[in-house]
Structure 1
Amino acid sequence: MTDAPRRPLDDLLLYRLSRLLSVAGSMVIRLCEGRFGITRREWRLIAVLASRGELSSSQLAEHAQLDRARTSKAVGSLVTKQLVSRVARAGDRRQVALGLTEAGRALYDALFPLVTQINTELLGALDADDAARFDDSLHRLQARAERLVEEAVLPKADRGRRAAARGAGNPRSTPSP
């Protein structure tokens, strides 16, 4: 019995998008880390706060599409760097509002145009009609992905088992896209 030929990863949309993000996103990462002293995740949180204003930690995690633990860690780092402030909400000191400090706003104002330029350069590969169709396609793909997630009946990842596997000498136990 012969095995059927296997299709290459390059045939998969998610793999191709991941590669695009890896290549083009590396320029943003170098800017963030090398010039501004923040991580890509911290940049995402700063950008969300700049566009949405003050948010709770859970709202920030939701808008940034990050889990709460990673958001909390990044927020702690941004507070230490004095780029984000935590202000207790009136009436409930357990609730805090997160917002950009003056330094955080200045960093956003300096970095956003550079990230925009990278995006503009990348989209320069498409003419105006192709860019409009691509934008429409991305919106439709995003909507479809959200519907698929809502409808999916998949088991949750066993994070404890993955962490144990990594600790047992297997640093890359998670599959790539």
Structure 2
Amino acid sequence: MSFKHPTVCNDLLNYRLARLLGSSGAPIIRICEGRYGITRREWRLIAMLADFGPLSPSALADHAHTDRPLVSRAINDLVDKGLVSRIVSPDDKRRASVALTDKGRELHGELFPQTATINASVLASLSEEELKVFDHALDVLTEAAARLNQEYALTERADRHRGGSRRHLHGQATATTLSDLW
């Protein structure tokens, strides 16, 4: 395996992280869907609202690192489930923020400890020193990925209805963010 000179998928950082997320996230998905009737995306939004308090849909999408249209649909579903509510701005009736309801806070209070336990179980395979190095490496890699994402950002909008990706010079499809690569 070679992160520096990848020759197969297993050498790619994003592929390895996607595998880790898939494996460690599967129990959480089963709990979310089976016990609480919510999706992983809905859980992420609930967790962000618990961490940051009421947010505009755009700010919520930014905090959750999720596309705004997907967040909008998830907000609608969470409102229907009684887990979040929209708070209309008194200054501008066209603007609203999203906040957890009592039911949403209760769900968060039950589900977060379960998620933290699963997280701790995965991380328990690392020594204290490995955990510190891993935490620091994640910070460094996240900052580098954010810089790269800015470099590769394009001003045109993706047209996923006609091909699924943004087009670049000579009609070649290009990835728009690092998350598009995996």
The one-character-per-residue Cα deviations of 1:22-69 (angstroms, maximum 9, x if unpaired) are 111111100100011100000000000000000011111111111111
The one-character-per-residue Cα deviations of 1:76-122 (angstroms, maximum 9, x if unpaired) are 00000000010111111111111000000000000000000000000
Task: Map residues 8-87 of structure 1 onto 2, 5 A cutoff.
Answer: 8-87=8-87
Q: Hey, what does 2:7 align to over in structure 1?
A: 7
Percent identity at matched positions?
46
Q: Which moved more, 1:86-95 or 1:107-116?
A: 86-95
Q: Hey, what does 1:92 align to over in structure 2?
A: 92
Could you say what secondary structure the match of 2:104 adopts?
Answer: helix
- Which structure 2 residue ranges, 5 or more long, are not aligned? 1-5, 165-174
How many angstroms apart in 2 are the aligned matches of 1:30 and 1:176? 26
Could you say what secondary structure the match of 2:95 adopts?
Answer: strand
Moved over 3 A (4+): 153-158
Q: Hey, what does 1:160 align to over in structure 2?
A: 161
Letter of the aligned partner of 2:161 in structure 1? G
Q: What RMSD over aligned residues (CA atoms) do the two structures have, in Å?
A: 1.9
Letter of the aligned partner of 1:161 in structure 2? R
Letter of the aligned partner of 1:40 in structure 2? R
Judged with a 3 Å threshold, the aligned counterparts in structure 2 of structure 1 residues 86 and 156 are, in CA distance, closer, same or farther, namely closer
How many angstroms apart in 2 are the aligned matches of 1:51 and 1:88? 21
- Which structure 1 residue ranges, 5 or more long, are not aligned? 1-5, 164-173
How many angstroms apart in 1 are the aligned matches of 2:88 and 2:34? 33
Contact 2:48 2:60 in 1 (8 A): yes
Q: Hey, what does 2:172 align to over in structure 1?
A: none
How many angstroms apart in 1 are the aligned matches of 2:76 and 2:153? 34
Judged with a 3 Å threshold, the aligned counterparts in structure 2 of structure 1 residues 176 and 58 are, in CA distance, closer, same or farther, namely closer
Judged with a 3 Å threshold, the aligned counterparts in structure 2 of structure 1 residues 48 and 14 are, in CA distance, closer, same or farther, namely same
Larger of the two Rg values belongs to structure: 1
How many angstroms apart in 2 are the aligned matches of 1:126 and 1:156? 42
* TM-score (structure 1 length as normaliser): 0.86
How many angstroms apart in 1 are the aligned matches of 2:27 and 2:153? 37
